[in-house]
Amino acid sequence: MLTLGIETSCDETAISVVDEGEVLSGAIASSVKFHKAFGGIIPEIASRSHVESISYVLKEALDEGGVALKDIELISVTQGPGLPGSLLVGIAFAKALALSLSVPLIGVNHVIAHLYANFMNGTKVRFPFVGLVVSGGHTSLIYAEAVDHYTILGQTHDDAAGEAFDKVAKIMNLGYPGGPIIEERAAKVKSAEMRFPRSYLGPNSLDFSFSGIKTSVLYYVRDHKKRGGVQWQNQINEICHAFQSAVCEVLINKAIAACNRKGADSLMVGGGVSANGALRKGLAESTEAEGISLWLSPKEMCTDNASMIAGFGEALYKKGVRSAFDITAIPDMGI
Ligand code: AMP
Ligand code: MG
């Protein structure tokens, strides 16, 4: 069964062809270079870029997969959460394709789809499991009981983990997106002495808060500018390391706590921040110590892609799920 996945929730226009969980192609056009100057995503630029790119991305995905459009049997598209204008471009495109090809349409949840990046190319998943989605817009702990049954165990009260990486990079003028830059800087630190506070929101909470650590970095930079002393510019690597350690520690401890609370023996991780090497290493060590099996998305499928959208759509289709042709964008789509 050939499924076309379409993802336009943020700044990536992505289309993939997936055949029964096997990724045949994944084409992506990113508008990130246009947002860099602003240190974050400008929604109007993102949606206009989707309009400009989407037909070319479709052609590339079909060519790369060696597939003709007429052979597509299912269209799966991100319905939310995401930027309204951006989502609408993908949804309108998906509807037009599904109608013209007379094939079914499925609108899927982007956050859950991040977990499906673990299930592609022959990897079979056993339910239930705990999912950790750490991206630019979300930090969520999810209990997955079946393909169509998920509950939220915890989520962020303020900034998402990726958003915190981006904002901290912006405070130090390091560029955008901040995650990969901070990881590279942090890796240069051999012995770490600097430490920022961790926010656990109480001993039993599975929720997150990352705005406090971001503010700690802001104050550190501000105070080391004002007072002279050690210039913060000479400590960028240390600041990156201390920030990354604090974020990773909280993510790892809460993910383990969620598994223990639900008695789950598997942890699935996805989203852009899960490309972070320190997080991957820490999760591997902690899950091993706890006897939990860990599933990390392949690095190229951590950030937004359409293979995970196609994969999740296929799984829902097999459960009998279909979307009507009047679906629209749900920017704040819940689980
Ligand atoms: P997504 O929203 O899933 O597309 O992921 C994008 C987010 O992931 C951005 O906030 C990035 O800063 C973050 N990100 C990407 N790579 C890394 C990394 N290596 N370490 C930490 N965060 C990352
Ligand atoms: Mg995402």
Q: How many CB atoms lie within 10 A of CB 318?
A: 11
pLDDT digits (tens, 9 = 90+) for 10-33: 999 999 999 999 999 999 999 999
pLDDT of 228 > 80? The answer is no
Q: Model-level pTM?
A: 0.95
Q: Would you place residue 229 in the very low, low, confident or very high pLDDT band (cuts 50, 70, 90)?
A: low
Mean pLDDT in residue range 66-82: 98
Which is nearest to 99 in space by CA: 323, 307, 313, 309?
A: 323
Which CATH class, in words, describes the domain spanning 2-117+301-318?
A: alpha beta
Beta bridge partners of residue 108, listed in sequence order: 78
DSSP string, 87-121: HHHHHHHHHHHHHHHT--EEEEEHHHHHHHTTS-T
CA of 226 to the centre of ligand 2 (A): 37
Q: How far apart are CA 110 and CA 132, in angstroms?
A: 13
What six digits make up the tokens of 274?
């899960």
Candidates 172, 300, 303, 305: which one to mutate for ligand 1, based on the most atoms within 8 Å of Cβ? 303
Q: How far apart are CA 87 and CA 99, in angstroms?
A: 18
What's the fold here for domain 126-297? Nucleotidyltransferase; domain 5 (3.30.420)
What is the per-residue pLDDT for 215? 96
CA of 202 to the centre of ligand 2 (A): 28
For residue 146, count CB atoms less than 10 angstroms from its CB and return exposed for 0-12, middle for 13-18, buried for 19 or more.
Answer: exposed
Which ligand 1 atom sits closest to the C-alpha of 162?
Answer: 10
pLDDT of 123 > 90? The answer is no
- Give the residue extent of every domain in the chain: 2-117+301-318, 126-297
pLDDT of 240 > 80? The answer is yes
- Which residue did the predictor score with more confidence, 232 or 199? 199
User: Which ligand lies nearest to the CA atom of residue 162 in the structure?
Assistant: 1
| Whether residue 270 has its Cβ less than 6 Å from ligand 1 | no
Q: Would you place residue 266 in the very low, low, confident or very high pLDDT band (cuts 50, 70, 90)?
A: very high
What six digits make up the tokens of 137?
């817009």
Common-topology check for domains 2-117+301-318 and 126-297: yes
Which is nearest to 301 in space by CA: 329, 326, 330, 269?
A: 269
Q: Would you place residue 72 in the very low, low, confident or very high pLDDT band (cuts 50, 70, 90)?
A: very high
Q: How many residues are present in the chain?
A: 335
Q: Are strands 12-19 and 2-7 parallel, antiparallel or unpaired?
A: antiparallel
Enumerate residues 6+ apart whose C-beta is below 8 A from 323: 79, 104, 105, 106, 107
- Asked if residues 286 and 87 have their Cβ atoms less than 8 Å apart, the reply is no
| Average pLDDT of every residue of the chain | 95
